[in-house]
Structure 1
Amino acid sequence: MLVDLTFDRGSAMPETGGLENAAKLALTAFFWWRTDIQHEVCEAYWRDVHGIMFSRVPGLWQCRQLRLAANRPDLWPAVQGISLEAPEAAQPQGMSHGLFLSEADLAAFGRNPIAMETIPNDAHNFISRIGAQLSPPDSGRTLVDRINDPAMQGAPPVPTFVLCFVSRAGATSAETFHRYLTEHVARPWSGHPGVMRLRVEPLPPYEQSAMSSPGVAHQWPSDETYLGWIELAVRNEGVVGDLLEVTAADELGKQVRAVHTYPVREIYTIISAGRPTEVGLRGYPAVQTIIAAGADDQRGEAVLNLLFGDAVRGLDQLRPRT
């Protein structure tokens, strides 16, 4: 397991949910890879080329990349009126999740030339389509996290899924659906003993991507746009189906038109608690090589400050030096 630079060595590991819930704003971006490049190349480029650009821009509190597998409708019992299927072309292969402590931090991130120009202009090198949405302020919450790894790198230790919810057209307003998803789905589920981690992220109705990238399509690939998602980690896959026992199926059917269940194959944390991780600074292969060689001096703050300068300090770049 990789050691994260976000925290002082030897200090107690901060509680992940508390770190995440300190953030006011969340940005979710769904990605569809280019079809003319191998998916493995797209994923490696996303993490080790495109991803590390974010660690050079101050403002982000957390930045994670979630690699998604194909939709798993088999995990759920049938619920009348709810579709569990998703067309193959509409299924995203990746999702990034960024957190910002404040509007000011988001604005600082957006003003940086790397975020304004370099990152958007690079996206076409590995993705064909993007759909990015900024959640309403203070709406996303991590309700439980028994894994407590704020800088996860690689395969999750337990089965983990991104559950994406399509609301029933005309049934309720977005705000009502968000309250329902949080209070009547996510919160009861978070109390299940088999749930290891649960974060709920309401999304606004999709009109256009919050992130623009030249040469990349921004329209959603189908009419089933997501009005919210839940990150769910469980002791075993059987827990997923059991969760409906604590949810009123008739009300779920009135609110939800479809649920798409994407297994999370791998998670890479680029920034945690406002500071870049080692993976965010160097890229995953370099860090793995350093660990394999036992080159501990390459992981120290002194060397990293010399190599990466202010980027090592992350969010502290926004604050006056004393």
Structure 2
Amino acid sequence: MSAAPHKRKPLASSILLWVRADQPRQTGMDYWRDPHSGIISATPGLEEYRQIHLAERNPGLWPDTRGLETAIPADRRIDGVAEVTFGSLLSPLRGRAQTRLAFKDEINVFRRTLLYAGPPYSARWYDVAEPGRRPGARALVYLRRRPEVGGRAFRKLVTGELAPALAGTGVLRELRTQTFLPWNEKLWDTPDVAHDNPSGQRFHASVMLGFDDLAARAAFFASREVERLSSALAPHVSAIHAYDVSAALTFVSRGVILPHYRQ
């Protein structure tokens, strides 16, 4: 049996984003990449800032599973996700002035933004690939727990069972997990942008999966391993939305603003 991969526990959160509908979608995605990225990148205390651009056509990559919602509803389909990682617990306080600038700029590009945060250092980044080996394809998976499943038990399921099972497949070139605290609008109550998030549509964890290429990704979602995972997750999870990631752009890495984003 291969050894479990080394993992890091960063202080990370995610902001789910929907671009404005009164202009072409690509216009919004381009504005998010630049100039909006410059505002976020300049925030003091960032360890990493990454934009996850999701494909426009995203019906859902996770295979049909009895009892699970795997088709992504068109009216709640996410356009992108901002992954924000801080250097320490005090870093958000250092960046408050820059964050206010980001608040003001949101209306220029987004119609809805939702912040998901977990307990401090509850995110996990697993070293499942050799250094310098970057994924050629990715999928971003969101999970919604069943109402009768407690938050602590669910977080334990994701980090103690799901992540090791995924790492054990041997096909991943990136594996990152986040588990979320109950959603609270006041954590990211930006002006002039919607924050509607009905309780039945909220998420409780995310998993970023990286693969060598699109063929490897397709083979993974068609595999017996995923079929077994679905069966194991069904008693605990009501929805699994697996998004096709069109680009993952890193603007800040190891606390340094990159001269040009890295794909």
TM-score (norm 1): 0.72
2:15 aligned with 1:37, yes or no? Answer: no
Pick closer, same or farther for the CA change 1:222–1:22 going to 2, 3 Å: closer
* Deviation sequence 1:119-159 (CA, Å, 0-9, x none): 10100000000001222112111123416459xxxxx7422
Alignment of 1:130-209 (within 5 A): 130-146=113-129, 148=131, 157-170=135-148, 172-208=149-185
Higher helix share: 1
SS in 2 for 1:247: helix
Q: Distance in 2 between matches of 1:147 and 1:160?
A: 17
SS in 2 for 1:122: helix
* Deviation sequence 1:34-87 (CA, Å, 0-9, x none): 0011111111111111111122221110000000124343x4443221110121
Higher strand share: 2
State whether residues 132 and 210 of structure 1, in contact with CA within 8 Å, keep that contact through their aligned partners in structure 2.
Answer: yes
- 1:114 alignment counterpart: 98
State whether residues 50 and 83 of structure 2, in contact with CA within 8 Å, keep that contact through their aligned partners in structure 1.
Answer: yes
- Point out where structure 2 has 5 or more consecutive residues left out of the alignment: none
- Point out where structure 1 has 5 or more consecutive residues left out of the alignment: 1-16, 151-155, 285-322
Amino acid at match of 1:279: H
- 2:253 alignment counterpart: 272
Out of 193, 197, 219, the residue aligned to residue 196 of structure 2 is 219
Runs of 4+ residues deviating >6 angstroms: none
State whether residues 62 and 240 of structure 2, in contact with CA within 8 Å, keep that contact through their aligned partners in structure 1.
Answer: no
2:86 aligned with 1:100, yes or no? Answer: yes
- 1:3 alignment counterpart: none
Please, what is the CA RMSD of the aligned residues? 2.3
Q: Distance in 2 between matches of 1:246 and 1:234?
A: 19
Pick closer, same or farther for the CA change 1:216–1:76 going to 2, 3 Å: closer
Amino acid at match of 1:126: V
Amino acid at match of 2:151: A
Out of 56, 65, 71, the residue aligned to residue 58 of structure 2 is 71
- 1:247 alignment counterpart: 229
Report the Cα offset of residue 204 of structure 1. 1.5
Amino acid at match of 1:199: R
- 1:125 alignment counterpart: 108
State whether residues 63 and 221 of structure 2, in contact with CA within 8 Å, keep that contact through their aligned partners in structure 1.
Answer: no
- 1:5 alignment counterpart: none
Aligned residues: 252
